[in-house]
């Protein structure tokens, strides 16, 4: 994971949209779900619990896609 950087942290619902955008643009990612890890271990988390990491080479492209996705919500 040393070649990967975090581009997003949020809820499981928010991550669904991020995954779709990254998949459509052929950007590979790693999803680290602290919610599921916490439940399995017997404790919860109050932090932004799901993290999306991408390869360093895809970082700026992924960030731009995520940013554009957020702006599209308010376009209407």
Q: What is the pLDDT along the chain (76 residues), one digit of tens a residue?
A: 689 999 999 988 899 999 999 999 999 999 998 765 444 445 555 555 899 999 999 999 999 999 998 666 545 4
CA distance 49 to 37: 10
Give the 3-state secondary structure of residue 37.
helix
Question: Average pLDDT, whole number, for the chain?
Answer: 82
Question: What residue ranges define each of the domains in the chain, with the CATH number in brackets?
Answer: 4-73 (3.30.70.1530)
CA distance 63 to 42: 33
Give the 3-state secondary structure of residue 74.
coil
Nearest CA to 51 among 71, 65, 64, 37?
37
Q: Which two tokens stand for residue 20?
A: 């779709």
Q: Is the pTM of this model over 0.85?
A: no
């Amino acid at each position: 994971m040393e070649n990967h950087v975090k581009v997003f942290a949020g809820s499981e619902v928010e991550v669904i949209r991020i995954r779709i955008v990254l998949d459509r643009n052929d950007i590979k990612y790693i999803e680290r779900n602290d919610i599921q890890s916490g439940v399995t271990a017997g404790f919860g988390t109050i932090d932004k619990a799901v993290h999306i990491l991408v390869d360093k080479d895809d970082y700026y492209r992924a960030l731009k896609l995520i940013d554009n996705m957020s702006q599209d919500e308010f376009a209407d």
